[in-house]
Structure 1
């Protein structure tokens, strides 16, 4: 059952100070908290909660704001709650009235709330970050007409897979689940399995590959014996044991040349994706796609694509999600050569940037050169917004994590825009400089001379939109 916090009647507390008496009204976090339409989340997420039954949930604003802060700062659930307890601005942002000295919720509640939230609910957080920028004037609607599209790999938080470790880990999970079901195994291979795994690692380190392969075959034999022993002694296993038995058989029968191989026991859906990087030949996770505005690098679309599809086959889905979030379809989408032969059919002009630049107009060449601006956005999402090592479980975790990371990226851009307290002054100065250049140099000359004054400033920043 949903629960919203009523802040209409605010009274002083005898022992708790009011947050409005602590925080500065000129702080960027305070301005952003007042600019976001929190009521839209209560209305939009109403369908994910029962209206008249069950225990009242935490306030929707609290949970949404905590996830904004988590992915904007790149923290874990526990770290976000610790910071919330000490930071009055974070408490104000989450809808607090008094400065609290106790945690508002716990990590388990945040995890369960994410499981209840679906992909469309996470997209609403991304959509609201863009709407806030549009309402405050940091984003012009015309900036969203041209977008850049690119894909990358969202790695999962799994260790590097080897056959020996997979065999041993699978055996451990099967033995543990069999004991829960009351199955007495003939032999569990706990002691000898640990010994053989350590020997295999030592042989591989010493480049004694023949002995290492022999140890790997021993571990595979142990797993096969445990699987067959469980199948003989139990006829109706529970869901968990049945799932582990299927994974065990899949691991035993898979070959080196198979495409759909098992790389992790607790995350069986991840794929091995080769991106051609010199420092990292293979990445284990899920392919994701990002769509950013070409001019000012706001993320307007983020989606996960299980199954490692071809980049061109993801373009239709990426632009459909972007149209859903923006409310209109972009006029132009600029992509790299990986999107040749795409499956998109619509009014959007798809531009494939060719490495052999043919003669194109000056304006189109300018947008082609802006295609690479999406690359640092991907880097920031991975290094600062928890898209590098995805900790959320399952396919739904892959979908939610990339959208949360995109919302956190936009959230930090909004904070920086609000922090520019001299924004109105600079906007006036640059508008006057533009009029002066237009009067002195003409239309074409003003376009060439527009970067002459104050070269250190970036005109693509949202404050100068």
Structure 2
């Protein structure tokens, strides 16, 4: 059951401290407590039943706040609960009215927080924060600009009138687009190591299926010791030749095929229901992995559609990036947009995609968020397709970069200056990627499931935007203090 929790923000001075004193209003966690918790709770409560039976769910402020603290500080689940228990500022950020010496929740609940919230809710909260921040920076207007475009009335076929908003005609701001890969925390995959891991998984499944018939039926001879020696003979070789690797892969393929046949024979005597959920999932993944590896082995190829590179995380795909450090990365591909220094999620996919195809969707989403088209789009050359250029030309949007075709012999100095300026401004998105990968964990996603991984990525963008707002609040406060000092000095002289 989920009941509406208290959404009123108490003042730092009203927070109860049993050992005396009061919280400082200049603390970063106190200043970060301006998140629109009420709107978030409305979205969060949709995932719960209103049935009064059952335990009361944790409030959205505590669930989302705990995930924000974890991504900001890089804590593990257990260490996060320990720090929350010890720090009154963190408890204030989570919405508690006073300091508690006992843990507010069990560390195991953090997994459910990630599943319950999901990337959709996190991205929605991120957009609310960005919209509120831009309105404050533009002058504190509380009206939503996307509600202001004029409307036109058309006749409805069923009678009455149908009101449809006209397309916005104004152009404001610049939209910066780019994509990157968020590597998952998996071992570097090779065909030989994947087949060896698959063989070991199948051997455990054979043991489980044969256990009810121990003493009554002879156990299949899987030759696991010989298979292990064959694998180590090549894996421990510092510089195995291609021929040796191919022979080793062929041996492991035959061992895996042999184990799969044994499992089919055992299923006739023991149902698959005796397997755990994890073992059954691994059996399905290994079956598909064997098909892919056999296809590549027979065709002397190293490419196959939807290639599996991890048995534990079968959703991970190889993403060819063409970078000098790592030509191929393994993890989801993330496309984001940067508007006035704030990062917004555009697309997350576990399959490789051409980021140039996301430009039109990003522009339309920009209109939905802010109520007008951007003046310019700053992006890589991969975004400068004929379709995107035609779309931008029709809407009067400038797309950065050179024209298609052969470059001209003489370049206009003004165009050169504008192109250099666009390249400098486009570096903002590269800086966001660097900040997220170095400080907030985007460089190595440690979540195991697909949904929780996407939730973690969305949280990292949310934390970056919160940190930007916190820096702006600091500079505003510093500017006020500095102006007061100047006035004091002027009064003295």
TM-superposed CA distance for 1:96, in Å, is 1.7
TM-superposed CA distance for 1:322, in Å, is 4.5
**Deviation by residue 1:69-125 (Cα, 9 ceiling, x = unmatched):** 222233333332232222221111111222222222233211112112233212123
CA distance in 1, matches of 2:386, 2:206: 48
Residues 23-422 of structure 1: matches in 2 within 5 Å? 23-33=23-33, 35-52=34-51, 53-134=53-134, 136-137=136-137, 145-181=173-209, 186-203=220-237, 205-207=238-240, 210-234=243-267, 237=272, 240=281, 243-255=284-296, 256-260=301-305, 261-293=307-339, 296-326=340-370, 329-341=373-385, 345=391, 347=395, 349=397, 351-354=399-402, 360=414, 366-420=421-475, 421-422=477-478
Which range moves more in the overlay, 205-214 or 36-45? 205-214
In structure 2, do the counterparts of structure 1 residues 244 and 283 end up closer, same or farther at CA, with 3 Å as the change threshold? closer
In structure 2, do the counterparts of structure 1 residues 364 and 249 end up closer, same or farther at CA, with 3 Å as the change threshold? closer
CA contact (8 A) 2:285 2:314 kept: no
**Deviation by residue 1:196-252 (Cα, 9 ceiling, x = unmatched):** 33222212x144554444333322221111112212332664553652353243244
CA contact (8 A) 2:81 2:103 kept: yes
CA distance in 1, matches of 2:205, 2:117: 29
CA distance in 2, matches of 1:231, 1:386: 43
CA distance in 1, matches of 2:48, 2:20: 31
CA distance in 2, matches of 1:169, 1:363: 54
Which range moves more in the overlay, 179-188 or 395-404? 179-188
Which range moves more in the overlay, 262-271 or 378-387? 262-271
- Tell me, what secondary structure is at the counterpart of 2:108? helix
TM-superposed CA distance for 1:416, in Å, is 2.1
CA distance in 1, matches of 2:451, 2:46: 18
Equivalent residue for 1:423, pick from 472, 479, 486: 479
Q: Root-mean-square deviation (CA), in Å?
A: 3.5
- Tell me, what secondary structure is at the counterpart of 1:301? strand
| CA radius of gyration, larger in | 2
CA contact (8 A) 1:301 1:321 kept: no
CA distance in 2, matches of 1:193, 1:213: 15
In structure 2, do the counterparts of structure 1 residues 291 and 9 end up closer, same or farther at CA, with 3 Å as the change threshold? closer
CA contact (8 A) 2:202 2:283 kept: no
TM-score w.r.t. length of structure 2: 0.75
CA distance in 2, matches of 1:30, 1:147: 31
TM-superposed CA distance for 1:39, in Å, is 1.0
TM-score w.r.t. length of structure 1: 0.79
**Deviation by residue 1:278-335 (Cα, 9 ceiling, x = unmatched):** 2212111121111102xx4211334312321112112234445545555655443211
CA distance in 1, matches of 2:208, 2:367: 49
In structure 2, do the counterparts of structure 1 residues 241 and 149 end up closer, same or farther at CA, with 3 Å as the change threshold? closer
CA contact (8 A) 2:43 2:121 kept: yes
- Tell me, what secondary structure is at the counterpart of 1:382? helix
CA contact (8 A) 1:19 1:96 kept: no
In structure 2, do the counterparts of structure 1 residues 247 and 114 end up closer, same or farther at CA, with 3 Å as the change threshold? same
**Deviation by residue 1:397-424 (Cα, 9 ceiling, x = unmatched):** 3432321111011121122223332133
- Tell me, what secondary structure is at the counterpart of 2:353? coil
Which blocks of at least 5 consecutive residues in structure 2 are unaligned?
11-15, 146-170, 214-218, 274-279, 486-493
CA distance in 2, matches of 1:358, 1:395: 49
CA contact (8 A) 2:118 2:452 kept: no
CA contact (8 A) 1:72 1:411 kept: no
> 1:456 matched to which residue of 2?
none
**Deviation by residue 1:108-166 (Cα, 9 ceiling, x = unmatched):** 21111211223321212312331442465489899972121001111111110011110
In structure 2, do the counterparts of structure 1 residues 219 and 29 end up closer, same or farther at CA, with 3 Å as the change threshold? same
